[in-house]
A and B are shown apart, each in its own frame.
With several copies, the nearest count.
Chain A
């Protein structure tokens, strides 16, 4: 099965619930970097309480990626700054994911 790289850019405040959602849906790992940015919900810089963004990456099978995207869409898109995109990737040791 294809392996996908799912990237989510969203509010720092969501870090813990997001991780829970990703792991509950069946992904086996994730990577987070701190970020800042601008989108429909305005400027989000990192130099203040809850102000910054995180950039979460998950490598997983395609169906899991879709399930995570659905779950996030359902729960958070209405009320939170969030952007989500998916790419196909070639992964070493693909069975790990």
Chain B
């Protein structure tokens, strides 16, 4: 078995402390700050790499990734409606979460590759931004049709002006325009401290996941199975699209992880206001208390192991 990256230990520490009801909490303001820094860091790093990449190769990849987001959302929706007959709104809301992505999971996957010194397309942060959007729009259309209650203006506002898209995209643009040289003075804060900040973030996520754990039982076994099973489907879909886009093994892992991960920043906010009749507890519990821990602890090494063997150019397990 591959050893866990130590950053995971912080998640486990938070999870354990939360489950044991330890007297510890990280205030909401800390969570906000950490999220802002993580999103900006990832965006800026991606932007710096984008500045050096071949845009002609990237644009088609971005288009492929949009299709992937829609595909993931549709597959999730199909499974939830057919296998279980969940109400349309709930199925669509969960599909929006699983078609979209988790930035925290992405950050752990990047740390995983960095530790193993595996090459990956550095501009993959652009995929994260892109994937935030289509599945959420799809989820809304699946319930509201092409005429959302408060009009498209308000829907697009929710989707494109959430913290996730704004900060990732903003970071990307800053990195792109400024380039590596000008970003250098920001490195100690945004890059060197990254893993420490990610550690505190994961500690916090562990506490949050623990606080949600109690509600898993309430939502039944099917949701649990979906939250554990869909990541495998999503990772396979991500791996397939990575192959279509011609990514390296590292890039394929990142896209697989994005496929496997479920949003807990952009999607909950957007769906709450656009499809309020969906039970927000269902999707948040699934993505946060089950899928996130699963991906971070089991999923990432698992997908990497499988891709190492199956992915063209993967070259077997090292």
Contacts and interface: CB of A to CB of B under 8 A. Distances in A.
A47 B31 contact: yes
Interface of B: 25-28, 31, 204, 207-208, 211, 215, 264-265, 268-269, 272-273, 276-277, 280-281, 288
A80 interface: yes
A78 B272 contact: no
Contacts of A41: 281
Given A42-B215, A42-B281, A49 B269 contact: yes
Contact of B26 (A17, A43, A47): A47
B268 A50 contact: yes
A47 B276 contact: no
Contact of A48 (B208, B215, B272): B208
Contact of B31 (A13, A48, A78, A80): A48
A45 interface: yes
Interface residues of A, number: 16
Contacts of A43: 211
Given A42-B215, A78-B277, A79-B277, A52 B28 contact: yes
A13 B215 contact: no
11 contacts: A13-B269, A17-B273, A41-B281, A45-B211, A47-B25, A47-B204, A47-B211, A49-B268, A50-B268, A50-B269, A78-B277
A42 B268 CA distance: 16
Interface in A40-58: 41-43, 45-50, 52
A20 to B, nearest CB: 11
Contacts of A78: 277
